[in-house]
Amino acid sequence: MSIATAPTSSSEPSNSANQTEQTKLTGMGAIPHENGVAFRVWAPHADRVSVIGDFNDWSGDRHSMENEGNGYWYGNVEGAAVGQGYKFQITNGDQTFDRIDPYAREVTNSIGKGIVHDTSYDWEGDDFQMPNHNEIVIYEMHIGTFHRSDEDQPGSFEDTIKRLPHLKQLGVNVLQIMPVAEFAGDLSWGYNPAHIFAVESAYGGPVALKDFVKQAHAHGFAVVMDVVYNHFGPSDLDLWRFDGWSENDKGGIYFYNDHRSSTPWGETRPDYGRGEVRQFIYDNAKMWLEDFHVDGLRYDMTAYIRTISGIGDDDISEGWGLMQWINRDLAEQFPNCLLVAEDLQKNNWLTKPHDHGGAGFSTQWDAAFVHPIREAVQQIDDAHRDMWAVRDALCHRYNDDAMQRVIYSESHDEVANGKSRVPSEIDPENPESAHAQKRSVLAAALALTAPGIPMLFQGQELLEDDWFDDTDPIDWDRAEQFKGIKQLFRDLIRLRLNREGTTRGLLGQHIHVHHVNEGDKVIAFVRSGHEDPEGDVVVLANFANRSWDGYEVGFPAAGHWKLRFNSDWKGYSEAFADKDVDDVVAEETHRDGLPATANLSFGPYAVLVFSRS
């Protein structure tokens, strides 16, 4: 057990610099040791703090805590043990109230009590390494709806483990988990965290999450955890006026108490300028990687961390600095971690390194891809599909690095909040129609063949319809009903990751959109790596409801080009046209600025992928 006088653990200067001379255990919250449990809490406006729990019959008179100075209170309870419930009883003037520990690693529920938790775990054999960024395919998932063993209860980590073979067969290799910090109730998307250090009890709690991560690693999956630092709560929030103090009818010590408190989710934006709050968020980010062995973080809506309005120039410099500090230290301590920003403002500075003034994220969700691609495939009339907008979406990048963007046609945000799954947007009356199937696949195929880090949303490979709802789990009967669509996604992912050694151009940075036919709604592009012409891949996408024979397209070189993928194949769906398509021989005739030309046949809304034989 480490011994020190400082309650903090980071390299950033704390507002609580003066410490008591007495040697104490380091850390915050409940700190188990061989003779009992030590406790530390930050409550700068408290007149008195006691720890209450199963170990003292919940009596506030038994274990008063010592004021260490600078707002920290410390106490040691001999004989207290892991698994026991506890809270802090705080007195401020004539008020006395109980609070759940902000650093509680386990709670009974969002309005229950903290549980003394032993963070140790047997990680033997867990030596997983994150793939290179150009070799990643992300699968965004929600534990409560991904798989349920009991239709009346939300899914759990244990339930999700049972479906890992499905994901292994699909071919994705990074699981991005929607937030699992303890939230109000048992049903939620997770973006209303009540206790950011505790793992949702309805999902199984902290040990079950560690079991899930270890099993995911054993199956070959990295795990990226979604975290919410742009606001807390707003419900079931013991952080609210935690020690009884507040200003302007606001939230107290953990929150801004002026106009900066306001977010679309309530008046609960953390005070990024207060050292103890910065430490609280820093410690939480580090916990996921250090204690739970996750391989990265996805920050929810960073625009509301770095600005007040989320869209304006009303910057919160303290929020920007906090992200820089966390990302810098995580990248140094966990060099292969993936740090993802959801900002959606097309801001290059998010993915610039911190020593150049950037926020230091690895990559960011790319609004410049998802919105024009969805717009193109969801148009009712072919004539309204904008091929130049599609071209711009394919080519967009940040800081001249394509892997600094995550590209997708479905995410939890894009299939809810007034929007639906792509098949339902295309054909609300019949989302299993031929048009709905083909055009939703068209959008997904572009995400899996364009440069960037591709991402799928859970159930996309099963042609899930309607909208995302935390009460509506995935219908796994669709795995058989749409096994062809699942095979289509599997084939695309294998090509994207060059599993057969024939499509290494799809791993490259480069794209050359050489053919844009706005009139006939056909686009073609070449994907390649650095100085690797033998690895070139040609992709053609037809955005119109018509077939073609003898359609001329430029190719990078003359010779035989093998058809690797045809989305119109009837083996994927009986609704597809199954236009006769084959390998092609490109002739030495210049076209589209390239040295060779091939004559192609393809079906309605088809995507073709060619590479050299």
Q: How far apart are CA 102 and CA 114, in angstroms?
A: 9
Q: How far apart are CA 521 and CA 543, in angstroms?
A: 5
> Using alpha carbons only, what angle is made at residue 76 by residues 72 and 82, rounded to the nearest 5 degrees?
110
Burial class, 233, CB count within 10 angstroms (exposed 0-12 / middle 13-18 / buried 19+) = buried
Phi, psi values for residue 54, rounded to 5°: -60, -25
Q: Give the residue from 261, 251, 254, 245 showing the smallest Cα distance to 97.
A: 245
**Could you identify the residue written with the tokens 């040609």?**
538
Instruction: From the candidates 300, 366, 410, 592, give the one annotated as an active-site residue.
Output: 300
Instruction: From the candidates 68, 295, 342, 491, give the one annotated as an active-site residue.
Output: 342
47 is catalytic: no
Q: How far apart are CA 252 and CA 240, in angstroms?
A: 6
Query: Which run of H or E residues covers position 193?
Result: strand 193-199
Beta strand 48-53 with 85-92: parallel, antiparallel or unpaired? antiparallel
N- to C-terminal Cα separation, the chain: 61
295 is catalytic: no
Q: Give the residue from 489, 490, 435, 432 showing the smallest Cα distance to 464.
A: 432
Q: Give the residue from 417, 258, 442, 270 showing the smallest Cα distance to 344.
A: 417
Count of residues making up the chain? 613
Q: Where are the beta strands (DSSP E) in 395-531?
A: 405-407, 453-457, 510-517, 522-528
Q: How far apart are CA 334 and CA 13, in angstroms?
A: 22
Question: With contact defined as beta carbons under 8 Å apart, do 586 and 561 qualify?
Answer: yes
Phi, psi values for residue 493, rounded to 5°: -65, -40
For the annotated catalytic residues, the residue numbers are: 300, 342
